[in-house]
Amino acid sequence: MKSRFLCIAWLMTASLLFVPFALAAETVSSLADQKEVAVTIYNEDLALVRDLRQVTLPKGEASLALREVSARIRPETALLRSLTAPGKLTILEQNFDFDLLTPRKLLEKYVGKEVRLVRTHPETGVDRMETAKVLAANDGVVLQVGDRIETGVPGRLVYPDVPANLRDRPTLVVELENGTGGSQELELSYLTSGLGWRADYVAELSADDSQLDLSGWVTLTNQSGTSYRNALLQLVAGDVNRVRDEIKLRRDVMMEAGMVQAAAPQMQQESLFEYHLYTLQRPTTIKENQTKQVSLLTASKVPVSKEFRLQGSPYYYRGRQGDLGQKLKVGVFVEFANRKEAHLGMPLPKGTVRVYKQDREGRPQFIGEDRIDHTPENETVRLKLGDAFDVTASRKQTDFRKLGGDSRYNYRFESAFEIVLKNAKEEAVTVTVAEPVPGDWRILRESHPHEKAAADTALWKIAVPAKGETVLSYRAEVKY
């Protein structure tokens, strides 16, 4: 009897110890409390959010519900601190409630509980209310109404309240110990997915292909589940190392950028560790499920060089080939230097460059696009815009001999080739012929001088007259 009394007393004491914490009134903070928000967006679907709010908290243990945080927050990265009373706030526990309020979720939460079933008489319009117990809510609702079971119930369900763990907006609930009561400035920082950016560039080539005007735009996409009003926006360009989850769900949001009018640069850049940080010079609102563009840079009259390039292949030199192709495609490339003297000189984030050129009537026409990687200052940007229509090539092997060797490590071959370059344009062009030659090699004879551009590459710069053709012939010895 005595032991039973002691057990009951212990349970009563334990329950009293937990009452203040469990019954602590929840302080709710919404965007109305937000004083400032800053968003730093990285490549690879990652962003850092710094949310500053003015919140009134009681002294002692309290429960703070921070509404309208990102629905794709990484809760383990959340950091809450008081700017008003540093060191006075101790975090005891935090929970991210992402089970959002929907009719289906509400029904699921009431499985095993009672609701009110309201039916309206089709003729009189009078509502009749009954008590029902929700038995299941999987592929439909199953109710127990009195002594009968009903499915596909006509009418509507009335719930007494909303369960505490069901929120209408993504909410971070923090259980804390507050050393001082009253109004405080609280800063919540966290990492989230659902926010992304990319750079898009629009270039217009001059009539003689010697210059271009370049506009850079940042395309922002917000699928994080909340909005960021009047945010300080910063972008980090660079490849930040991250620990990858074993399973990663990736959402790629693509938006094709069209022609846009040039605008004044709105972003300033600075070095940050081994990356580059771009800061928008005015606040901007990033709405939920929104894609927007912000001007990054503009540059006019950037000098450009144009190249026609015929690319070979190393297998040509390893055996008897014969005809290697008629009307071969000749690639068209443009290059420009990212330097101040070329009216640029700004680190360029990776992105897509779309190039246009005006026709005779002054209408801009799309002539090609290419992707660039992160490009620092004083580097060269090289774009492949397509293949030439009026410049073609034919290639054949005119001779092949095995000079010696009895294994794959001491073969010696001699090959001869003929490349016919044709130009149907009204003006002369220069075609770069790039031949990747394997092994130890040397050119024995050639109709035009070559340049050894790399250990495995021979380059010829061949002038082709207007409405004419030029033949390049050469003989090479290769040792394996």
Residues contacting residue 384 through CB under 8 Å, at least 6 positions apart: 331, 332, 333, 368, 370
Please write the tens of the pLDDT for every residue from 324-351.
999 999 999 999 999 999 999 989 999 9
Q: For residue 14, is it within any domain?
A: no
* Contact indicator for 296, 268 with CB cutoff of 8 Å: no
| Residue 55 is assigned to a structural domain of this protein | yes
Q: What is the CA radius of gyration of the chain?
A: 35
Three-state SS letters, the chain: CHHHHHHHHHHHHHHHHHHHHHCCCEEEECHHHEEEEEEEEECCCEEEEEEEEEEEECCEEEEEEEECCCCCECHHHCEEEECCCCCCEEEEEEEEECCECCHHHHHHHCECCEEEEEEECCCCCCEEEEEEEEEECCCCCEEEECCEEEECCCCEEECCCCCCCCECCCEEEEEEEECCCEEEEEEEEEEECCEEEEEEEEEEECCCCCEEEEEEEEEEEECCCCCEEEEEEEEEECCCCCCCCCCCCCCCCCCCCCCCCCCCCCEEEEEECCEEEEEECCCEEECCCEEEEEEEEEEEEEECEEEEEEECCHHHHHCCCCECCCCEEEEEEEEEECCHHHCCCCCECCEEEEEEEECCCCCEEEEEEEEECCECCCCEEEEEEEEEEEEEEEEEEEEEEEEECCCCCCCEEEEEEEEEEEECCCCCEEEEEEEECCCEEEEEEECCCCEEEECCEEEEEEEECCCEEEEEEEEEEEEC
> Which pLDDT belongs to residue 248?
42
Q: Per the domain annotation, does 79 fall within a domain?
A: yes
Instruction: State whether 186 and 223 are in the same domain.
Output: no
Same domain assignment for residues 325 and 344: no
Q: Do 134 and 110 touch, CB atoms closer than 8 A?
A: yes
Asked if residue 7 belongs to a domain, the reply is: no
- 139 with 262, same domain: the answer is no
The answer on 471 and 406 residing in a single domain is yes
Same domain, 309 and 364: no
Nearest-10 Cα torsion for 375, 376, 379, 381: 20
Residue 94 is encoded by which pair of tokens? 């935090």
Token pair listed for 237: 């360009």
pLDDT at 165: 67
If asked whether residues 272 and 230 sit together in one domain, one would say yes
> What is the pLDDT, as a whole number, of residue 266?
59
Same structural domain, 327 and 450: yes
Q: What is the pLDDT of residue 269?
A: 82
**Same domain assignment for residues 440 and 420:** yes
Residue 44 maps to a domain: no
2 domain-assigned: no
DSSP 404: E
Task: Let me know if residue 6 belongs to a domain.
Answer: no
Single pTM value for the model: 0.72
Give me the CATH number covering residue 469: 2.60.40
Same domain, 149 and 220: no
Q: For residue 82, give the H/E element and its range.
A: strand 79-82
Judge if 57 and 183 occupy the same domain. Answer: yes
Using 50 as the pLDDT threshold, list the residues of the chain that sit under it: 1-23, 246-265
Clarify whether residues 332 and 454 are in a common domain: yes
Q: Give the chain's domain count.
A: 4
Structural domain containing residue 222: 194-239+253-303+340-378
Q: Is residue 244 part of a domain?
A: no
